[in-house]
Structure 1
Amino acid sequence: MTLQTAERSFSVSPTARGIWRRGRAIVLVGVIVVIAAVVPVLLPSGSSGGGALLDPGDSSLVGSRALAQVLGAHGVEVQRVDDVATALAAAGPDSQFLITESALLTEQQAARIAAAPADRLIVGDVRHLDVLAGGLTAEIGGTPSRSRSPECALREATLAGDAYMGGSAFTAPAGSTGCYPSGGKPTLVRYVADGRTVTVVGDGQFMTNLRLAEDGNAALAMNLAGAKHRLIWLVPPAQSDETSEPGGSGGSGGSASEPKTIGDLIPQGVGWAVLELVIAVGLVALWRGRRLGPVVAERLPVVVRAAETVEGRGRLYRARRARDRAALALRAATIDRIAPRLGLPRTATPDEIVTAVAARTGEDPEQIRPALFGGAPADDSGLVALAGYLDTLERQVQDS
């Protein structure tokens, strides 16, 4: 739509450029809010197990909660412990240690675990191998982790098939079985020492929530970790506040009875999200604040005549049958115009106005009062008659 004026025409129809100028602030704020919401989700966080690698109580990508739940569903009692004394107390012929952080053990603790009547599954961390897995030596230099085939006769590996293995390769002792080789050296070794089965794996990523569903990772993890009725899963002491025992009913060492504060229950990503939102709001405020300046008077693109405004308001009153409002507007306008000519202040009472108008025009006060202060006309013809009489009174006051 285009409005014509005497000088030029102005288009009032929305354009793509105008819409973009008005909406780009909203779009920018929306993008910032989306980024602020997505980034904390993508950041690694310890959802329920402190974010530790291979923690059976952690549901993040690096945790192993999924494996613990699957083991529990297949009758394996998963006992999450965070100190060696509790682990040794639970050890027995029908149990197996799962050690993922052997670097946190002392030589004495490693020796006590090696002497316990339980099998040992050492994953990822290859410290204290001379004690925990005597005769096994880790090769110097890392081995890239990727999907590898078993290439061995170990039943647990052949049934699982390809798995995500690597990390470290080993020189295995005599009588052992090595699987998933890298450069001719196995990355998984199993052998029997002093009547106990010892299994060492160079990389534990195949047991994480991230990798468990790939290739035969789940089958291999189940075959290795579920070999005994009870799995004693040793985690770092720093995570002793975790009390969950997925998949089993075993106890947990540490301070399990300590109550958690509100701060402990808030996810770590919330703080980053709040900080990013504050920064985003500040940037938008600075961006919009620089655009604000002094008020600039602009010429209207079109001039509307007073008669058109009056006609428009009249049509609105008529459409809504608002004769009372129309009569009130006519009376108020008439009184505002004649009061100064009568020498009356704006605070004059109706009696004073009626008396002054009657004295100036010679009209009957009983006729003037309902005209200036009466009720609403009964119909449109009454409204027209009222408008005519008010116009007559005003002209008489002006001419007298």
Structure 2
Amino acid sequence: MTAPPTFSALGRRASAPADPGTKRSGRRTIVILAAAVVAMIIAAVLLSRLSPNTSSTPLSATNPDPNGARAAAQILGAHGVQVREVTSTAAALADARPEGTLLITHADQLRPEQLEALADVESDVVLIGLGYGELTGLTDRVAVEGGGGQSTYQAECADPHAQAAEQLATAGPGLTANPAVTGCFPLDEAGTAFAYGSWTDDQERTWSVLPNAHPLTNGGLDEAGNAALVLRILGG
């Protein structure tokens, strides 16, 4: 089975205030890897809806439709982040660096060899939009389960990014409770599934996971605290 294309993005933060909730200081790059997008370069500054550099690919930073993610790219761009989309995992790996962030959307659609290659990147990692595919080649701390209707959920955790957002407008699936993961925005009263999770691994990399991609989309970014959470985990 042929794996879907992927994209990476390289950004440089021209200037940004220090964030006490960020473990590493001096973050200047963001690298994004996603499934099912076309190869494009993003200027990431006030793109017009009539711009020729647009696509209809879900979660693409060039997609201005409700299921795209161009709004987040534009906001990051306004803060000095440049985004480059490509269609190979190798290109994403080439851009990944310790002071950066690697965003992977729909990681469950990648081949096992791609996941294994990405597991050793030196950058922080953000996973957004997960199905029920196997992810053990990338990490063994993520397990996804169904449940959670479209609603607004309270943070109810100590993660600084979740606390800043306070609320998240999203739905299932959720992350199952894992003692190594800080689970936030519980989707049920029992606290067995969460809309967001984070942890720091043995290499001091920060991992952030949003199993439902709605908060990143143009249609969902301005709901509740979605923008606060998404932009903090992507922009450091």
Give the TM-score, by structure 1 length. Answer: 0.43
> Which residue of structure 2 aligns with residue 160 of structure 1?
165
**Residue 221 of structure 2 contacts residue 227 of structure 2 at CA under 8 Å; is this kept in 1?**
yes
- Counterpart residue type for residue 220 of structure 1: L
Query: Secondary structure of the equivalent of 1:103?
Result: helix
The offset of 1:212, in angstroms, is 1.4
1:202 paired with 2:208, answer no
1:113 paired with 2:118, answer yes
- Cα separation, 2, equivalents of 1:208 and 1:136: 22
- CA deviations 1:169-210 (Å, max 9, x no partner) are 222433321101012121211011232211111211111111
Query: Secondary structure of the equivalent of 2:194?
Result: strand
**Residue 199 of structure 2 contacts residue 207 of structure 2 at CA under 8 Å; is this kept in 1?**
yes
- Cα separation, 2, equivalents of 1:85 and 1:148: 37
- Cα separation, 1, equivalents of 2:84 and 2:163: 27
- Counterpart residue type for residue 162 of structure 2: A
1:187 paired with 2:195, answer yes
Give the TM-score, by structure 2 length. Answer: 0.70
- Counterpart residue type for residue 74 of structure 2: Q
> Which residue of structure 1 aligns with residue 138 of structure 2?
132
- CA deviations 1:108-131 (Å, max 9, x no partner) are 111100111111111112433322
- Cα separation, 2, equivalents of 1:70 and 1:212: 11
- Counterpart residue type for residue 55 of structure 1: S
- Cα separation, 2, equivalents of 1:56 and 1:214: 18
Give the strand-richer structure, 1 or 2.
Answer: 2
> Which residue of structure 1 aligns with residue 94 of structure 2?
89
- Counterpart residue type for residue 130 of structure 1: T
> Which residue of structure 1 aligns with residue 85 of structure 2?
80
Query: Secondary structure of the equivalent of 2:125?
Result: strand
The offset of 1:48, in angstroms, is 5.0
Q: What aligned pairs does 1:17-56 form with structure 2 within 5 A after superposition?
A: 49-56=54-61
> Which residue of structure 2 aligns with residue 221 of structure 1?
230
> Which residue of structure 2 aligns with residue 147 of structure 1?
152
> Which residue of structure 2 aligns with residue 320 of structure 1?
none
- Cα separation, 1, equivalents of 2:54 and 2:82: 18
- Cα separation, 1, equivalents of 2:233 and 2:195: 14
**Residue 64 of structure 2 contacts residue 71 of structure 2 at CA under 8 Å; is this kept in 1?**
yes
- Cα separation, 2, equivalents of 1:88 and 1:156: 26
- CA deviations 1:313-332 (Å, max 9, x no partner) are xxxxxxxxxxxxxxxxxxxx
- CA deviations 1:295-315 (Å, max 9, x no partner) are xxxxxxxxxxxxxxxxxxxxx
1:101 paired with 2:106, answer yes
- CA deviations 1:334-379 (Å, max 9, x no partner) are xxxxxxxxxxxxxxxxxxxxxxxxxxxxxxxxxxxxxxxxxxxxxx
- Cα separation, 1, equivalents of 2:134 and 2:122: 18
**Residue 172 of structure 1 contacts residue 178 of structure 1 at CA under 8 Å; is this kept in 2?**
yes
Larger Rg: 1
- Cα separation, 2, equivalents of 1:87 and 1:128: 21
1:60 paired with 2:65, answer yes
- Cα separation, 2, equivalents of 1:110 and 1:144: 29
**Residue 147 of structure 1 contacts residue 165 of structure 1 at CA under 8 Å; is this kept in 2?**
yes
Structure 2: 5+ residue stretches without partners: 1-51
- Cα separation, 2, equivalents of 1:145 and 1:49: 28
- Cα separation, 1, equivalents of 2:174 and 2:222: 24
Give the helix-richer structure, 1 or 2.
Answer: 1
- Counterpart residue type for residue 106 of structure 1: R
- Counterpart residue type for residue 194 of structure 1: D
- Counterpart residue type for residue 179 of structure 1: C
**Residue 166 of structure 1 contacts residue 202 of structure 1 at CA under 8 Å; is this kept in 2?**
no
Equivalent pairs, count: 180
